[in-house]
Amino acid sequence: MIIGIALIYAALFLRAGSLKISGIVSDQSTGETIIGVNVMVRGTTQGTATDKNGYFVLAGLPPGNTVLEFRHIAYETRTVPVLLSDQSRILTDIALKSRVLELQDVSIVAERSELADLDLETGHRAMTSEAIRRIPAARSDVFRAIKHLPGIEGIDPISPLYVVRGSDTGENLILLDGVPVYNPYHYVSASGLFNVYALKDVELMVGGFGAEYGGRNGSVLYITTREGNNRKLHGEIAPSTTSMNAVVDFPVNRNATMMVSGRWYYDLFSRFLFDMPSYFYDMNGTLTWNIGQRNRLTLRYFHSYDDVDFDSETYFNYLRNTFSTDVYDDYDFLMKTRWRNQTVSAQLKTILSPGVYWQTLVYRSGFSANNRSLIDFEYETGDNTRIQLFMDTDIRAGITDQGLRSSLSMRPFSWNELKIGGEWNRYAFVNEVLLNRYSEGKLVNHPGLLALFCEDKLDAGFLTVRPGIRLTRMGSGAWQTETRLNAAWSLPGGLRLKAAAGNYFQYIVSVNTQEYELSQFLDTYYPLGSLAPSASEQMMVGLETGLFGALQVSLDVYHKNIYRTYTYDYNASPLEAHSFHDKLRRGEGKAYGFELLVKGMMGHTSGWVSYGWSRSTRRVSHIMQNRWHPFDYDRPHALKAVLNVRVSPALEYSMVLGVLSGMPKTLETGYSSYYYFDPLNNEVHIWPQVMTPVKNNIRMPWLLTLDFGVKKRLRNGFGADLARFIGADRAYLNVSIRDILFALHRNVWFYIQYDDDLYGVGTNYIPTVSLGYSIQF
């Protein structure tokens, strides 16, 4: 069907008599393509904007002289006369000169999109690299930063994992320059793999995304890296007390550029206090080569490694000697983790003809982890009964994804834009879970996936619609059909109403471990194989308009019917589940809510303020006799604010506020005791297993956070002297102060129950201050 649609449109395209102008817009000083440039035909209302590749198409133009205007807030306006005779034109040398922004024009709010059509999409979130650096609590990390956007929530204060509008952590598609990345996190620092100094933009679709993207029910996170500089050597170094960040881009020759970045993290505090030799590193490289005037080839490589080795013996010895206590003699806590992530890709972008753009991506993405955590606590009761609380979890996982993705964009008429494409994937999954040192065996799977998609954007001026269809086949299973529809209406008074609906399938699930690990850091992926894919139906409506000045306000309302989902039953015995696959339990869920967002700039202050209300529930066959219960990550209320005040070109302040209701947790109300004999010590021990008739029977207290940051350009001192020594242009001092409200409110992470009392354990006992330099050249 999709092939037939493509042939029909190809015939219409060839017969279309109107003329077209297409081309690519780039930065004059660096050669990087520019997203979001407004391209207008002078004297008319006809226009368009450059997409994620800097590419634009204007169709339906009459023969004769045409004058194009290229406008962008960060660049000088350029006017280009074009003579159209009997043939369409391709412009390949449109370079814009950057301009010095006035103080009132500098904003941390992203105004362009690589992922979405902003005139059509609802639920789109975006951040610039500069905005991420200016959020004090983010500590220059993508995944900490996006949790300050509406609709996105962290699962706990430590883990980098996030959830979106009632979906699970494994239902987020994370793309690095179009390549899927699995578990893109550093265990050591609970942060993301991506060096923010090497990034261009970060975008997130929290729902309603088109047919081009599939395989996930929750969201699409698209991260774009820098392409390089074709004029001169350019870079940035950011040393701090725990890490070193660096990025450099430079021209290779007149047609090629290269970008190289790297990070090294060394936790000196943990090394000396806990005898915990933990570290990580990551590196990223990009080579971009312009082949002729119509082709661009990009080669990319990414690699990261984490090593964590923590044994509580050193720390407990410190407490034992400091406080003269033996309470820790029978307590053992252990964490050992080895993580590795690697991607390599080649991407070719080609202008086949005016109005026809083709891009193909070939990649290999791999992840492997060995993640072990142990808690072993022994004590005696009043009747001299020896009690042992023992939990040893060893999760071993690996995934390799080899893929090919290709798409063709055509604009046969001024009022429509067709996009067709497909992707092929060959996976290798390795899964093994050892629970209390017992393994049910290692599972290895090699499924394949084939998907085709087609979407057509139809623009009638006041109304724009984009229907889409996606066909997917996993292995030798049946073809699955996903339908999508996006629409937008222009209303009087500057209002714009947007709507989206569709069904979404996911063929790879993530094994839930949040109840068996102190903090879940790892999504353990597993192919469903012969099982039906997890599935959801999503509907959302959005209304947006401009306010006074440069402010925008939007309201999104959404509803998700998650009519098929899966969870992993760790407690299933070998008698009822003979394999890993047999422990998957089917369930369903619902999620609904609304999100109010005000963003933009007022005077010298830019940023956003948002409030979200939501509810999400689940029911699974083996839990509470299939009754409904609050979802593990249900958070009804979320008030967030991120503000940046640019006092002068050399000084700016940032503030982040979060007021969030707590998530539900299961507080065990009883124990089921298992007796076993220890022949070495000739003792009988009791192994109690916690149990409760109600899942998520309590809700954690509210979370309250307030953080401040300062960025100051240095004229004198060590940082300025260092910049001058290496010949750099500028040096900045970055200061962040987190957990300012520690004395007024304690954010509880989890509870420890001892006898009949509950003891809350928090993460904000004292404020933390971090300082670092940023040197640009």
* Segment 228-276, tens digit of pLDDT: 777 788 888 887 767 788 899 888 988 899 999 998 887 666 666 666 6
Identify residue 410 by its one-letter amino acid code: M
C-alpha dihedral sign at 743, 745, 747, 753: positive
- Cβ pair 20, 354 in contact under 8 A: yes
Q: Give the integer Cα–Cα distance in Å for 440 and 419.
A: 46
Q: Please state whether beta strands 89-96 and 19-27 pair in parallel, antiparallel, or not at all (unpaired).
A: parallel
240/365 Cα distance (integer angstroms): 30
Q: What is the pLDDT of residue 12?
A: 47
Give dist(CA 232, CA 12) in Å, integer.
45
What is the pLDDT at residue 298?
A: 94
H, E, C per residue of 529-578: CCCCCEEEEEEEEEEEEECCCEEEEEEEEEEEEEEEEEEECCCCCCCCCC
Helix (H, G, I), strand (E, B) or coil at 695: coil
Rounded CA separation 667/695 (Å): 8
Sign of torsion, CA 163 166 168 174?
negative
Other beta carbons within 10 Å of 576: 11
Instruction: Specify the pairing of strand 47-49 against strand 152-154.
Output: unpaired
Could you tell me whether strands 219-225 and 172-176 are parallel, antiparallel, or unpaired per DSSP bridges?
parallel
Distance (Å, whole) CA 475 – CA 507: 10
Q: How far apart are CA 437 and CA 303, in angstroms?
A: 31
Backbone torsions φ then ψ of 391, nearest 5 degrees: -145, 115
Q: What is the pLDDT of residue 690?
A: 62
Q: Which residues face 340 on adjacent strands? A: 305, 368
Is the CB of residue 139 less than 8 Å from the CB of residue 160?
no
- The alpha helices in 21-170, defined as continuous H runs, are 129-133, 142-146
**How far is Cα 110 from Cα 129, in angstroms, rounded to an integer?**
9
Question: Helix (H, G, I), strand (E, B), or coil: what is residue 625?
Answer: helix
Please tell me the predicted confidence (pLDDT) of residue 354. Answer: 83
What residues pair up with 664 in beta bridges, in sequence order? 699
Buried-state track 545-555, b at ≥16 Cβ within 10 A, e below 16? eeeeebbbebe
Q: Tokens 């279309």 sit at which residue?
A: 16
Cα–Cα distance measured from residue 658 to residue 741, given in angstroms and rounded to the nearest whole number: 11
- In sequence order, the β-bridge partners of residue 344 are 301, 364
How far, in Å, CA of 750 to CA of 651, rounded? 39
If you ran DSSP here, which 8-state letter would residue 170 be given? G
The upper half-sphere exposure of residue 79, i.e. CA atoms within 13 Å in the direction of its Cβ, equals: 6
Residue 16: per-residue pLDDT: 45
pTM for the full model? 0.84
User: What's the 3-state SS for 274-331?
Assistant: CCCCCEEEEEEEEEEEEECCCEEEEEEEEEEEEEEEEEHHHHHHHHHHHHCCCCCCCE
Nearest to 194 by CA among 114, 257, 263: 263
State the burial class of residue 382 (Cβ atoms within 10 Å of its Cβ: 0-12, 13-18, 19+).
exposed
Task: Report the SS3 class of residue 154.
Answer: strand
Q: How far is the C-alpha of 151 from the C-alpha of 614, rounded, in Å?
A: 9
Helix (H) or strand (E) holding 718: helix 718-725
Contact 342, 365 (CB under 8 A): yes
User: pLDDT below 70 — which residues of the chain?
Assistant: 1-18, 100-119, 188, 241, 267-276, 314-330, 379-389, 438, 440, 512-521, 570-581, 670-691, 743, 752-756, 763-764
Choose among 526, 625, 628: nearest CA to 584: 526
